[in-house]
Amino acid sequence: MTQQITRAPAALARIRDLVQPALVAAVDRLDDPQMRLIARYQLGWCDVDGAPTGGTGGKAIRPALAVLSAEAVRGGSAAGVPAAVAVELVHNFSLLHDDVMDRDLERRHRPTGWVAFGEGQAILAGSALLTQAVQVLMEDSPDSRRCLPLLLATVQQLISGQSRDLLLEGRDDATLAEVLTMEAGKTAALLSCSAAIGALAAGAPVPVLTGLTDFGYELGVAFQLVDDVLGVVGDPAVTGKSSSSDVRAGKRSAPVVAALAGDSAASAELARMLAAGPPGTESDVERATGLVIDAGGLEWTVRAADDHLAAALRHLEALPLARPAADELAAVARYIVGRDR
Amino acid sequence: MTQQITRAPAALARIRDLVQPALVAAVDRLDDPQMRLIARYQLGWCDVDGAPTGGTGGKAIRPALAVLSAEAVRGGSAAGVPAAVAVELVHNFSLLHDDVMDRDLERRHRPTGWVAFGEGQAILAGSALLTQAVQVLMEDSPDSRRCLPLLLATVQQLISGQSRDLLLEGRDDATLAEVLTMEAGKTAALLSCSAAIGALAAGAPVPVLTGLTDFGYELGVAFQLVDDVLGVVGDPAVTGKSSSSDVRAGKRSAPVVAALAGDSAASAELARMLAAGPPGTESDVERATGLVIDAGGLEWTVRAADDHLAAALRHLEALPLARPAADELAAVARYIVGRDR
């Protein structure tokens, strides 16, 4: 996989514009000025002092999936908007909290929330966004309220995935199966929820909801595996993180664990190296990165990501969905896995 | 105010026994074993390794208020149980998170959650309990679901109160009004919610709900002020914290700020002392504690707590409530403010 800066599907911008007013309204409903400020900063709308950045934050992939899933079942875009707001708020809840736990210093080329506002305030703002996500669905229509059990179960899966991630960090003997289960919770759960929640709000029948859930789940696994690849060979200018960030942190991500699972000389040397803790110097980081590649860890992960993307697209094609939404779902899927050309 | 170990009203034990099975069921519904373990530890049911302690945790004041409020409007105890579980879960969410932020090491004579399980796991478990609280109300009856907006708004107030508390910590010039507003969010909001939520589930009319809300709010302010008094002169054997814990931490609690607001020599000396940061030695802690007392800070706080308790009881007496629940609400109120004899 080579890293590509590709043109985003038009659906992403269209839906971000559609969802943005409702997202702004949800954040503005936070009574506490400090929580509102941190939420706006986290979403990329303002700097630390509250001055507008003119930006609308990230790519808003999860809101796009939510609205497209409503459109794909002929429910209309509007039916998916509250759900889109809720999943984006939950996503930012998890980013704020995970950055505290992972001691990540930068996100999207800016200081993370806890670096900018302090750890306590970042934890509080995360909880405020989680609570607001529930409030958005609760205070909307019965159609939106129907989505609450799915959203809440998804939040529990996110929490469980992050907990497993932290527990794996201290272990040398993590298996690929454990890493993939953990990543399913951390990333696939919310993408799966996003891909079905708009259709659920629109009243789609169970088989369609199941198919969309499976699509989102496979897509989420593929997306996380690509993220893991970027954690080994990503360009800081694109990822907003330092190069080889996962290798540097000694993180047992999929490429690393896949590399360790091999029986090559590179595999054995990598194991010896990492047993001593995270690489200490820049040349150690470079050496470890090379060993992950030589031991086939990167290749395995890229192939696994491709397989999961293909599975996702098969689930999608099997469903009786409306165009152009179905095509846009596929385009978004290919785009976020970096396989759109 | 002298510290007293008094006999708890019988209603507390009765309702704890009534609510405990539903609370256990809610915690057991957490899929993740690590989250379940931390939740059980936090609630006082097991030790760090999961071995049962035989205990049922704290006094369960909030569940008692919730169930009594259902009984007081003739709704029956059972109507208040899901709400009681929800407020207890929210309370423990805030304890887990606040202990991380405040770097508190002990709670109820045991290591706090983050000390026992690590900061990340404690943050995650707090979020899991918050989410489970919403799930409990969501998955119960329409009567319970009606309580969700109140619970969610209360969570936002808790978050806001803790945020203000952290922001005040860094400031020398906190006013009594600011401290009281902060404490209202931190403590009174959830007691107020607890005192009304059972009645709300039971379908009580708005004027009764308003009266119970006011009762719980005044009670919550009184309760927090007593907690502040114990933070200055509390006996570690009773509070489970070190003696003069708030003074030691340089915390601007109500007695300290009230002491600083005076114009006595003690007031001025206390201001000079605290301007240099938290007291450095044990004799400094003792000296500062003495100055808070000499400057009238403790006396002011005790009187304010009494005034708020009296206001709470007046709200209660004005309502057309069923006995014995109304009397039990008053008994619980007097008990938790340490004024039951």
pLDDT for the residue numbered A341: 41
On average, the pLDDT of chain A sits at: 92
Nearest to A121 among B128, B131, B163 (CB): B163
d(CA B124, CA A8): 34
- Partners of B164 on chain A (C-beta within 8 Å) are 32, 34
A128 touches chain B (CB under 8 A): yes
Confidence label for A183 from pLDDT (cuts 50, 70 and 90): confident
pLDDT digits (tens, 9 = 90+) for A1-38: 444 456 788 999 999 999 999 999 999 999 999 999 99
A121 touches chain B (CB under 8 A): yes
d(CA B294, CA B265): 9
More confident residue, A288 or A55: A288
Q: Check if the beta carbon of residue A120 is closer than 8 Å to that of residue B98.
A: no
The helix or strand, by DSSP H or E, that contains position B248, with its residue range, turns out to be helix B245-248
Residue A110: φ, ψ to 5°: -130, 160
Nearest CA in chain A to B101: A120
Rounded to 5°, the CA angle B228-B312-B195 comes to: 90
The DSSP call for residue B322 is: P
Q: Mind telling me how many Å the CA of A159 is from chain B's nearest CA?
A: 6
For residue A242, is pLDDT > 70?
A: no
Per-residue burial over B46-70, b if 16 or more Cβ lie within 10 Å, else e, is: beeeeeeeeebbbebbbbbbbbbbb
d(CA B260, CA B262): 5
d(CA A28, CA A45): 12
pLDDT digits (tens, 9 = 90+) for A83-127: 999 999 999 999 999 999 988 898 888 999 999 999 999 999 999
pLDDT for the residue numbered B265: 95
The model carries a pTM of: 0.94
pLDDT digits (tens, 9 = 90+) for A245-296: 788 888 889 999 999 999 999 999 999 998 888 888 889 999 999 999 999 9
B181 touches chain A (CB under 8 A): no
Residues A330-341, mean pLDDT to the nearest whole number: 85
Nearest to A101 among B120, B130, B166 (CB): B120
For residue A340, is pLDDT > 70?
A: no
Tell me the one-letter amino acid at A159: I
d(CA A79, CA A69): 10
A128/B159 Cβ within 8 A: yes
Residues A135-160, mean pLDDT to the nearest whole number: 95
Residues A198-211, mean pLDDT to the nearest whole number: 97
For residue A199, is pLDDT > 70?
A: yes
A130/B31 Cβ within 8 A: no
Q: Mind telling me how many Å the CA of B129 is from chain A's nearest CA?
A: 9
A266 touches chain B (CB under 8 A): no
- Partners of A30 on chain B (C-beta within 8 Å) are 156
Short-list B145, B42, B40, CA closest to B100: B42
d(CA A313, CA B137): 37
Write out residues in chain B with pLDDT < 50, as ranges: 1-4, 341
pLDDT for the residue numbered A78: 95
DSSP line for B287-312: HHHHHHHHTTHHHHHHHHHHHHHHHH
CA torsion angle B268 B272 B275 B276 (round to 10): -160
A29 touches chain B (CB under 8 A): no
pLDDT for the residue numbered B1: 44
Nearest to A131 among B128, B138, B156 (CB): B156
ipTM passes above 0.90: yes
